[in-house]
Amino acid sequence: MSEEHIRDRGGEAVTDDSQRFTSMYDECRQRVWAYVVSRAGRQVADEVVSETFAIAWRRLDDVPDPALPWLLGVARNVLRDNIRAEVRREALSAELRAWTEGDVAEQVTERLSVLDALTGLPEDDREILILTAWQGLSPRQAAHVIGCSPATFRVRLHRARKRLKQEMETAASPRIRVRNLSEEMS
């Protein structure tokens, strides 16, 4: 409600708004709650209904008559936003678990091994592997970047992967010997 309207009508406008809101709340709360329960269960229903009516109070001038369809739409949006937030929290939690699970030093060592092996490859092989593995391009997309046919790119990719594997095995063999020797000594 506008400031002018409140000034013109004094305390009466606030009382009218309160009465309208109370009436709407009494008439629609159970049905909004039932709708949310049917979509998301009892655990979140009270929170979603509370937020729905808080929005209705803030936007009371926008609430049409009858209010129920509008309130159900608001409840649907609040529920959708809650679900999105939960998905984001779960994704973050999974990401953090992935970082903490396993030996971080082993992951770093593996990454360094790959980077070290990449430096031993010709520039063309590195570019092909980076386009597909790090940039996430499909062979067709990467072929377009390089300027060759997809079939030619797939052959080059196969060869680059083979050379990377050989480079990693060559680089890893001294480490494997050292690891085996240290295990035997302990």
Q: What is the pLDDT of residues 57-82, one digit of tens each?
A: 999 999 988 999 999 999 999 999 98
Model confidence at 86, pLDDT cuts 50, 70, 90, reads confident
Q: Which CATH architecture has domain 3-100?
A: Orthogonal Bundle (1.10)
Q: Where does residue 164 rank: exposed (0-12), middle (13-18), buried (19+ CB within 10 A)?
A: buried
Residue type, 140: R
Any idea where the domains of the chain sit in the sequence?
3-100, 104-185
Among residues 83, 59, 56, the alpha carbon closest in space to that of 71 is found at: 56
Residues 6+ apart with CB under 8 A from 28: 67, 68, 71
pLDDT, tens only, 15-47: 788 999 999 999 999 999 999 998 888 888 999
What does CATH list as the number for 104-185? Answer: 1.10.10.10
